Each structure stands twice: as structure tokens, then as C-alpha cells.
Structure 1
Amino acid sequence: MDANKQLNFSKYILINFILLGLLIITFIVSILIGQTSIPLNDFFNSLFSNSIYTQIIYEIRIPRVLFAIFVGGGLSISGAVFQSLLLNPLAEPYILGISSGATFGTVLSFIIGLTFIGTQIFSFIGALLVIALVYLFGKRFGELEPNQLLLSGVMIGAFFSAGILLLMLLLNDSLRMAIYWLIGNLSLAKKENLIFIIPVTFIVTIFLIANSYKYNLLSLGEETAHQLGLNVNKLKNISYIFVSILIGTLVSVSGIIGFVGLIIPHICRMLFGTDNRIVFSASFFIGAIYLTIADTIARSIFAPIEIPVGAITALIGAPIFIYLLRKKS
């Protein structure tokens, strides 16, 4: 038994070490690629001395890539958590309408004229409201029913998306760029907001990974998990609050970026198995790598014209979602 635990721990460390290395490589490569390509030697020289690329690297590329890393990682681990909590492989913030609820709160804060902190609060409330509605309407005879849950999320998300379009009519001309942002876009995120995004994402991610073994118990069924000593209601309530804070924070700077939280956890389970202790951490790393690559494509493929990264993730994610839906059926 002890040898098996040691082997599992070694496997866990090895997987995360490899994924961290891949993330660092992706980080560097994405900084080099863009409308202005940066040679590798000049990149390293610019880190420690002034050059023609220093301002591009520090003012534009590094903040942009950091946004992609933490938004992608945060959305991915959120999807993994929802799939574990709701016992539904198709659950994720975008499909369940949670991103739409957070976006509704964000746009409403724009109209009111709130600061960034106010926007964060409104995004969190919108996300939490949708979670409560999905959980309420996803029950049948007092029990959560996967198909009912999924359809409820889609419909509630559509409702809030319609509400967002109505709110857009109230925006003045200077804020109509929000339409571009609603597709899912990192170019409008201000680098100053990283001081909020990084700590919130880091704290929530560490909490979820530290408690990942509890989600393994939950996968056995609520009654079984309760018999094994797990406080199921407490875990669910804390998870909903923490993930709502995370989604609200991310959506307030990136807009609606769909399918990341759906695809990445499935890829992790295909690669590493169903143990959430590995799936959660791997989801963060692979999600960060995935969105960084997608955003690099979005800002480079038709430079100087930039495609919203949400369009790239939707083009990739929608066919995979259809495949998973048909497979589940």
C-alpha cells in the first residue's frame, strides 16, 4: 500500500513537472510570435537590458500571455469541478450559462459606471445566480438529473444572453466595443488588472486542488460519500461560491470564452485517468497552454487584424461538444 501511494505521488509530481515545463515553453514562444516577431536572442537580452523590443515584451506581450494562462487555467479547472460536482461530463461554465450570468453582471456594471471592483462583485453575483437557478431547475423528483441539468443550463444561459443584448442598447458609443469583448477577447484587458486576476485564480485553484480527493468521494454518489464522512452540502456550497468568484473575476476581463472548461477536463481524463487529484492540476496547466496557443493564433494569423479568442475556442470546441453529446447519448 505504501509503495503504491509513493508511486502515485511520484506520478503526480512527474505529470505536473512536465506540464509546467510545457507551459513555460508555450509562454516564451507566444511572446516571440505576433505582429512583430521577436528573435529568441533578442528576447532574452531584452529581459535584462533596454532594446527595441523591451516595451513590446513588458507592456504588451507578457501581460497578454499571463491573462491567457490564468483565464485558460481557471476556466479549465472550473469545468473539471462542475463535472465532478454535478456528475455530468458535459457541465462547464459556458454550457451551464454561468459565463453568461457573469457577463450580464459585468455589462450591468458598465451601465451603472462602477469601477473594476464593482464589476468583479456584479460578475460574481451574476455567476452565483445562474448556478442557483441551474441547480434548482436541474432537479427532478428532488434529485439532480444530468439531461435536465444540461438543458436548464443552456436555456438559462440563453435567457441571460438575451438580457445582455438588451443591456447593449443602453450602452453609449464609447462602450460598444463591449460587443467585441462579449465574443471572448483578451486584447481589451488592462495589465493593471493582473493584480486581481492572478491572486484570485491562484488561491481558488490551490483550494480546489488541495480538496480534490473529496471530489473523488463525491463521484461515488452523495449517499456513499456521506457515509465515508464527507460533508457533501458543505463541499458543494463552498465549491459554488469559490468557482463563482473565479468565473466572475475571469469573465470581467476576458468576456465569454466558451468550451475551454468542457474540452480540457475530458482530455485530462483521457490522458491521466479519472483521479481528480491529477485531473484538477492537469486541467489548469493544459487549459493555460490551450488558451495561450489559441490567443496567439487569434492575434497573429491575420495580423494586424485580431480575431477574438472566443471565436477560435468555439470553432475548435463546438465540434468536440457535438461529438461528446452524441457519444453520451
Structure 2
Amino acid sequence: MELDRTTINLKSFILKLSVLFILLLIVSIFAIQFGSVTISFSEILSLLSNSESSNTANEIIFNIRIPRLLLAIGVGGGLSVAGAVFQALLMNPLADPYILGVSSGGSFGAVLAMLLGLSFFFVQIFSIFGALFVIGLVFFIGHRFGRLEPNTLLLTGVMIGAFFSASILLMLTFLNHTLRTAIFWLVGNLAMADNFSAYYVVVFSMLISIILSLFGYKLNLLAMGDEDSTNLGLNTKTVKSIIYLFASVLVGFIVSVSGIIGFIGLLIPHVVRMIFGTDNRIVVPASFLIGAIFLILADTIARIIILPSELPVGVVTAMIGAPTFIYLLKKQSN
């Protein structure tokens, strides 16, 4: 891995991200066409150029599919960035927001807010604080065992995540009439997207992802180990704390609007590193774009596979992600 700030090829970097961005646009146009009602590409162009087009098609595109598309971009991109960052910090390819317990903490906070009958705004607030509480607890318990070794943090995260997952199941028994909605949400769902939530989710996710991308060089240094990165002048404790904070807030925010969507934060960083190498200055932003593309495609499949009903998108990501991840691990081991 090249660590010199000047060694990154700017033209190559821009070209790679531009190709991914164009691919994202193509996939987005494809996704907007399909659902319970198919809308052709020519109809979409007509809607964009003529405000007097079909009211039904206009309603479907602008009030249902585009908000859902934007939510998929924000959620898929954000989870992929969080996964890439956690894997870099812990120097472990199996690290992701779920294994660290951050997603379980966010889900616990969200379900608790539902149980208390609070508004959606407080569901999001509780989810963010739940994620922050868990990452803080992981660090606290890990610190009690001595140095904050990556394996210690991972095992602590698994333990805490299991506890909060069990607590969520306990709370679900008290939700009664909202039980089905809560379970559907926990499996991972983008169906509740509206214009307001979709726009601020994608903006927030992109903003935090850009901030985390700016730490790419420091993540490269941290990959050398705490001792070497400290010798190179990096304040490892402060940098790690800042990155963990931003990544945890991002995950908590995403979980509050989409529920638990698995395998994205685990799988996508692997795919990115296989294509673009291990330089985190490229891995982090590329993870956002590829993660967004992946979730858009998964959500499109979820919408059309059992028409007129739909699957929770978390089911689709798991069915695609699990065998794909096993294949990638086998390929890397060979």
C-alpha cells in the first residue's frame, strides 16, 4: 500500500469514480422503470420534460420511486463506507457495523422509541444514541481488558450485539399491533421512503461519507499498526475515536430509517479492494458508489420478484451477499 500523499494518481482516481458514478446513473434509470407498474424510458423522459404528463405516472416516479431510489443510495452507500472504515480500523476483513454491535444498538434504540409511542423523529434520535452507546460500551469493555486490540473489540462487539438483539426480541413482544411493522422494518425495508426522509438521508449519508473519505490517508497509516503509525506522528487514539464516532452516527442514522440490512458493509468493501486495491483514499469513496449500486439493484429485485407484493430488501441482500461473500473468501484463499 502506498502511503505517500503524492503517490495517488489523481487522474486515475477521478476516472474510476467517474465510471462508477455513470454506472450509478444507469442503474438508477433502470430501477425507476420497474415495480408494480412498469414505466418505459421514453415515458420517464417525457415526465422530466413535460409537467403535464400522466398524473399517475408522475405520482409513481416523483413520490414513490425517486424517494426510494435516493434512500437506497444513502443507505447502501453509507453502510458500505461504514464497513470499509471498520475493517480498516480493526484490520479485520470480517468487521462490519453488525459484528461490532453498532447496528444492534441502533435498532434497540429505534424499537425502544416505537415501544414508547414516540414520533419518527425520536425513533431516529434514539437509534443514533443507541449506536453511540454501543460503540462506547465496546471501547469501555475492551479497554478494561488492556489495550484496545482489534480482536478484543470484535469479540466484545459480538457479545454486546447478541445482548441487544435478544433485548430487541423481548421488546417486540410488547409492541402488539405494531409488531408486524417492527419486524418488517428490522429485516430491512425501504418501502416507507418519502420525499423528505429520502432527501435528508442521502444528503446526511453523503456528507458523513465525504468526511470519512478525508481520513483515507490516516486509515492507511493505521493499517500499519498503532506503534508504526504513532512513530509517523499520528495521534492514533484521537483519530480512531473521531472515525468511530462519525461511522457510528452514520450507522445509527441509517438503521433508524431502513432497519437492519445485512451484508452490505461486509461484502462491498471486499469487492472494492479486489477491483481498486487497498488504498483507503480510493476504497472509502468507491465503497459508497458501489454500495449504492448494489442496494438499488437489490431493492429493485425485492420490488418485482413476488408482484404485487414485495420482499424486505434485507432478505435479498442476505440471499445475494452470503454466497457471494463465501465465493470471494474462497477466491482470495486460493
Q: Shorter-normalised TM-score: what interval?
A: over 0.9
Written as runs of structure 1 = structure 2, the 5 A alignment for 1:49-128 is 49=50, 50-52=52-54, 53-128=57-132
* Equivalent residues, number: 326
C-alpha contact (below 8 Å) 1:94/1:257 kept by paired residues:
no
Q: How many angstroms apart in 1 are the aligned matches of 2:269 and 2:8? A: 23
Deviations 1:218-246 (A, max 9, x none): 11111111121212111111112111211
Q: 2:180: which partner in 1? A: 176
Aligned CA distance change for structure 1 residues 318 and 154 (closer, same or farther; 3 Å): farther
Q: How many angstroms apart in 1 are the aligned matches of 2:270 and 2:181? A: 33
Please state whether the residue corresponding to 1:127 is helix, strand or coil: helix
Q: How many angstroms apart in 2 are the aligned matches of 1:309 and 1:156? A: 25
Please state whether the residue corresponding to 2:25 is helix, strand or coil: helix
1:320 Cα deviation after fit: 4.2
Stretch deviating more after TM superposition (226-235 or 289-298): 226-235
Please state whether the residue corresponding to 1:176 is helix, strand or coil: helix
Q: How many angstroms apart in 2 are the aligned matches of 1:324 and 1:130? A: 30
C-alpha contact (below 8 Å) 1:182/1:255 kept by paired residues:
yes
Which aligned runs of 4 or more in structure 1 are off by greater than 6 angstroms?
Answer: 324-328
Q: How many angstroms apart in 2 are the aligned matches of 1:324 and 1:224? A: 30
Deviations 1:185-220 (A, max 9, x none): 111233321243123212211111122111011111
C-alpha contact (below 8 Å) 1:134/1:149 kept by paired residues:
yes
Q: How many angstroms apart in 2 are the aligned matches of 1:69 and 1:85? A: 24
Q: 2:13: which partner in 1? A: 12
Length-normalised TM-score, structure 1: 0.92
Whether 2:134 is the aligned partner of 1:133: answer no
Q: 1:254: which partner in 2? A: 258
Q: 1:37: which partner in 2? A: 38
Identity fraction in percent: 54
Amino acid at match of 2:47: S
Whether 2:243 is the aligned partner of 1:239: answer yes
Q: 2:23: which partner in 1? A: 22
Amino acid at match of 1:29: F
Aligned CA distance change for structure 1 residues 87 and 144 (closer, same or farther; 3 Å): farther
C-alpha contact (below 8 Å) 2:67/2:199 kept by paired residues:
no
Amino acid at match of 1:51: S
Aligned CA distance change for structure 1 residues 85 and 152 (closer, same or farther; 3 Å): same
Deviations 1:17-47 (A, max 9, x none): 0000000001110001111111111111012
C-alpha contact (below 8 Å) 2:73/2:202 kept by paired residues:
no
Whether 2:291 is the aligned partner of 1:290: answer no
Structure 1, gaps ≥5 residues long: none
Q: How many angstroms apart in 2 are the aligned matches of 1:124 and 1:43? A: 37
Length-normalised TM-score, structure 2: 0.91
Q: How many angstroms apart in 2 are the aligned matches of 1:7 and 1:187? A: 40
Aligned CA distance change for structure 1 residues 7 and 93 (closer, same or farther; 3 Å): closer
C-alpha contact (below 8 Å) 2:68/2:198 kept by paired residues:
no
Q: How many angstroms apart in 2 are the aligned matches of 1:306 and 1:17? A: 32
Aligned CA distance change for structure 1 residues 180 and 7 (closer, same or farther; 3 Å): closer
Written as runs of structure 1 = structure 2, the 5 A alignment for 1:220-239 is 220-239=224-243
Q: How many angstroms apart in 2 are the aligned matches of 1:174 and 1:91? A: 32
1:143 Cα deviation after fit: 3.4
Written as runs of structure 1 = structure 2, the 5 A alignment for 1:140-151 is 142-151=146-155
Q: 1:263: which partner in 2? A: 267
Q: Tell me how large the CA RMSD over aligned residues is.
A: 2.2
Whether 2:315 is the aligned partner of 1:311: answer yes
Please state whether the residue corresponding to 1:96 is helix, strand or coil: coil
Amino acid at match of 1:42: E
C-alpha contact (below 8 Å) 2:220/2:279 kept by paired residues:
yes
1:145 Cα deviation after fit: 4.3
1:161 Cα deviation after fit: 1.2
